[in-house]
Structure 1
Amino acid sequence: MYFNGSVFSLELTLHSLDLPETSIYPAFIFGTTTYLAVLVCNLTIIITIFLNRNLHKPMYILLLNMPVNDIMGASMLFPQLLYSIWTHDRSISYPVCILQGFCVHMYGSTSYSTLTAMAFDRYTAICWPLRYHAIMTNDNLVMIITGMWLFNIIIMFVIFALLMPYKICQTQMTDLICYNPPLMKIVCENTQVNNIYGLFTMVLYHFISLSVVTFTYIHILITCVTKKQSDAKNKALQTCGTHLVVFLFLEFNTFFALIAHRSENVPAYLRRVFSISVLIFAPIVNPLIYGLKTKEIRQKIITCFKRKISSV
């Protein structure tokens, strides 16, 4: 099959969910509940940080990018997936597929960038406490956040701009969602340039993030352990532990999903599971780890709820 017409009028078909008839309603209810939980948890963190001036600090301003990014990532999966479950319709227009793929890749790249920026912030606060406020000024913070988002937008825009000139050979997608690797499998022409650029960006993000996180957290651990305070080791674990768990989960998940498309030995179902798992688990777990388990944010949320209850 070879499509000479405009790709903007093309309808693609995502991989079937293969749900039995008896599982449709439970799956729809579970998916809707999960999506609402993602929205509530992440919006709670956003509103709490936004309304409390005591939280307008570099650490929390950087953290604010995470729930915003998680909402974007989850919103690229759940609405379309829930619609497919309810209607049994797995079709998606090519422009919407490109938009979904762009936002999915933006979600992954921004997750890396945010975690990297947060690692640098914690490194500065713990290893250089006297210089922290001179380094993490408002101007520098704006530059970090703006540069982070602009860099990701430009990198991801190029990835999908490279796809646009190609003719489409088939409309059957191999995955449950749209993103770059399965999109490249439906084009007719040689995609060597896309493969080289894709591998370059993957190596770039992994190298920068791993280098920064490894460097900063080794120094954080050394600084905390060598301090004379009795709680130094606990502080090191509290500072590094959850951040590293989230980072390593993201690292493994995204790396496996992308590599799986370049290997015939990986089962297709595993590739599909990993391609959407980061859009499901991370938006739920992140607000719990970085929001509700952060003492200052947790106290503000509890105080707000107590005021609402007492006013009723």
Structure 2
Amino acid sequence: MENQTLSEDFILLEGLKVSSQSSLPAFIFLFLIYMFAVVSNISLVTLIFTTRRLHQPMYLLFCNMSINDIFGASIITPHILRNIFIPPSERYIHYNNCVIQAFCVHLYAATTHTILMIMAFDRCMAICKPLQYATIMTKTMMVKLSVGAWTAAFVCVAILLGLTIRLSRCRRVIFNPFCDNPTLFKLSCESILINNIYGFGYTVVLLGSSMGSISLTYLKIAAVCLRSKNKALNSKALQTCSTHLAVYIFLLVSGFIIVILHRFPHLSDHRKVASVLVQVTVPAFNAVIYGLQIKEIKQRIITLFNNSKVAQIN
């Protein structure tokens, strides 16, 4: 490790400040949440792909979200778990690996917003234009929207990190549990004006477009439901839209908590813990919401559970 500390290619990652007495409980707690998030999302994807009745646009979009959540949960959690038992002075990471981690962190966040925007569009078409829904949300359209969501996020994040890796480095310590774009460009002593401008614009466009489009979508859905006075339609809208809205609100609240904690330097340790928990709990929360509040999926899970109990009895 001493040879690594002498190399400019390695930087020191602060990680979580965990006492020796709390190391094992913290490891077990994070590990259990991580395993639940991964296993539940993999189960959800497998269930949808193996059940022909669930091969519908809404459920295929759930698969998109679950795949992204598996990706998001796996970006930093294994690294955090490993570092819990490593002394803070030895938590080194190669600069290239740090860049890759930062890219994945931002790609996960951006893709979450773009997928949620597509899901809102899908619900709007299903409720506001039920007769034309099948002709609008075809398999081809689903592929185009999914590819577009991932591609748009990939390009925006690639530019974000590209502006950062061009900078020279004069510092070698990252005061964060994991690598992200702000911690990377803070390693430089050069002007980061361009990074701040693009980063601000990127954040405004991403959050503005997601919040704006989802708000307009739900206003349109609400207007249709109020005009129709159809109890069946309103029940369907409430069932499908409440799930999507719960996931989006949880995502926004989690993000705003971290942003607010950034404004209080004396709470930096709390912010680091919160950022790690958000990265792990959001995928777990999404799986629970989609798995237990969607009627078809819940019925399928209950059927599988009952069949397994019958098999055990026999």
Residues 252-272 of structure 1 deviation map (CA, whole Å, 9 limit, x = unaligned):
4335545765x5768423432
Q: Structure 2 unaligned runs (5+)?
A: 1-6
1:297 equivalenced with 2:297 (yes/no): yes
Q: Secondary structure at the match of 2:173?
A: coil
Aligned partners of 2:130, 2:238: CA distance in 1, in Å? 18
Report the counterpart of residue 180 of structure 2 in structure 1.
Answer: 179
Question: Over residues 130-185 of structure 1, what are the superposed CA-to-partner deviations in whole Å (9 max), with x where a residue is unaligned?
Answer: 11011101111110001111111111111111112211111111211111111111
Post-superposition shift, 1:199? 1.0
Q: Deviations over 1:183-222 (max 9, x none)?
A: 1111121111111111111111111111110111111122
Are residue 90 (structure 1) and residue 98 (structure 2) matched?
A: no
Instruction: Give structure 1 stretches of 5+ with no counterpart.
Output: 1-7
| Contact 1:16/1:176 (8 A) holds in 2 | yes
The reply to whether residue 25 of structure 1 matches residue 33 of structure 2 is no
Matching residue of 1:73: 72
SS in 1 for 2:71: helix
Alignment of 1:57-68 (within 5 A): 57-68=56-67
Quote the residue 1:5 is aligned against: none
Q: In 1, Cα distance between the equivalents of 2:301 and 2:190?
A: 54
Of stretches 215-224 and 109-118 in structure 1, the one that deviates more from structure 2 is: 215-224
Aligned-residue offset at 1:237: 3.5
Q: What is the Cα deviation at residue 73 of structure 1? A: 0.9
> Structure 2 counterpart of 1:144, which letter?
L
Percent identical pairs in the alignment equals 38
**Alpha-carbon separation, structure 2, partners of 1:214 and 1:286:** 20
2: CA distance, partners of 1:35 / 1:158: 30
- The 2-side partners of 1:176 and 1:24 are apart by 15
SS in structure 2 at match of 1:188: coil
Does the C-alpha gap of structure 1 residues 256 and 33 become closer, same or farther in structure 2, counting only changes over 3 Å? Answer: closer
1:98 positional shift = 0.8
1:168 and 1:199 map into 2 onto residues whose CA distance is 22
Q: Distance in 2 between matches of 1:221 and 1:70?
A: 29
Aligned to 2:252: 251
Matched ranges for 1:24-43 at <5 A:
24-43=23-42
Q: Deviations over 1:4-60 (max 9, x none)?
A: xxxx95222222422222111111122221111111111110100111111111101
1:110-142 deviation per Cα after TM superposition (whole angstroms, max 9, x unaligned): 110111111100000001001101110111111
Instruction: Give the aligned partner of residue 144 of structure 1.
Output: 145
Seen in structure 2, the aligned counterparts of structure 1 residues 126 and 211 have a Cα distance that, compared at 3 Å, is same
Q: Is the 8 A contact 1:181 1:258 kept in 2?
A: no
Q: How does 1:1-312 map to 2 (within 5 A)?
A: 10-88=9-87, 89-230=90-231, 234-255=235-256, 257=258, 263=263, 267-312=267-312
Comparing 213-222 with 301-310, which one deviates more in the overlay?
Answer: 301-310
Partner Cα separation in structure 2 for residue 111 and residue 280 of structure 1? 14
Whole-angstrom distance in 1 between the partners of 2:292 and 2:257: 29
Q: Is the 8 A contact 1:102 1:156 kept in 2?
A: yes
Alignment-mate amino acid for residue 168 of structure 1: R
Question: Number of aligned pairs?
Answer: 304
Say what the alpha-carbon RMSD is for the aligned residues: 2.1
Query: Deviation at 1:72?
Result: 0.8
Letter in 1 for 2:18: L
User: How does the TM-score come out when normalised to structure 1?
Assistant: 0.90
Residue equivalent to 1:4: none
Whether the 8 Å CA contact 1:63–1:114 is kept in 2: the answer is: no
> Any conservation in 2 of the 1:206–1:251 contact (CA below 8 Å)?
no
Local SS of the residue matching 1:13 = strand
Runs of 4+ in 1 over 6 A off after TM superposition: none
* Farther off after superposition, 36-45 or 82-91: 82-91
In the superposition, the TM-score normalised over structure 2's length comes to 0.89
CA distance, structure 1, for counterparts of residue 136 and residue 232 of structure 2: 26
SS at match of 2:166: coil
Quote the Cα distance in structure 1 between the aligned partners of 2:291 and 2:186.
Answer: 39
Equivalence for 2:3:
none
